[in-house]
C-alpha cells in the first residue's frame, strides 16, 4: 500500500520539477550573440568495393542441392 502513495508522490514531484525547469528556461534572458564560424567545404571522393561473387548464388546453390 505504501508503494501506491510513493509512486504517486514520485510522479507528482517529477512533473512539478519538469514544469519548473521548463518555466525557468522560458524566463531566461537570451544569451549574447554567438560567434558563428563557417569551415570550408570538403569534397570526399572514394571508390566502391567490388560486390562479392556469391551474393546472388544462394538461391542457385539451394536449387542445385535439391536436384
| Domain presence at residue 49 | no
The residue segments making up the domain with residue 18 are 1-27
What percentage of the chain exceeds 70 in pLDDT? 75
C-alpha cell at position 56: 546472388
Q: Supply the DSSP symbol for 52.
A: P
| Domain presence at residue 5 | yes
| Domain presence at residue 34 | no
Is 2 a residue whose pLDDT tops 70? Answer: yes
Nearest to residue 54, comparing CAs of 46, 62, 44?
A: 62
| Domain presence at residue 23 | yes
Is 7 a residue whose pLDDT tops 90? Answer: yes
How many structural domains comprise the chain? Answer: 1
Burial of 11: CB neighbours in 10 Å, binned 0-12, 13-18, 19+: exposed
| Domain presence at residue 47 | no
The overall average pLDDT reported for the chain is 81
Q: What is the dihedral of CA 13, 29, 31, 21, to 10 degrees?
A: 0
| Domain presence at residue 66 | no
| Domain presence at residue 56 | no
Amino acid at each position: 500500500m505504501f508503494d501506491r502513495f510513493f509512486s504517486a508522490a514520485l510522479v507528482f514531484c517529477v512533473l512539478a520539477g519538469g514544469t519548473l525547469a521548463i518555466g525557468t528556461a522560458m524566463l531566461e534572458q537570451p544569451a549574447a550573440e554567438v560567434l558563428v564560424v563557417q569551415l570550408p567545404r570538403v569534397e570526399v571522393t572514394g571508390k566502391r568495393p567490388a560486390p562479392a561473387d556469391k551474393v546472388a548464388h544462394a538461391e542457385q546453390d539451394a536449387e542445385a542441392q535439391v536436384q
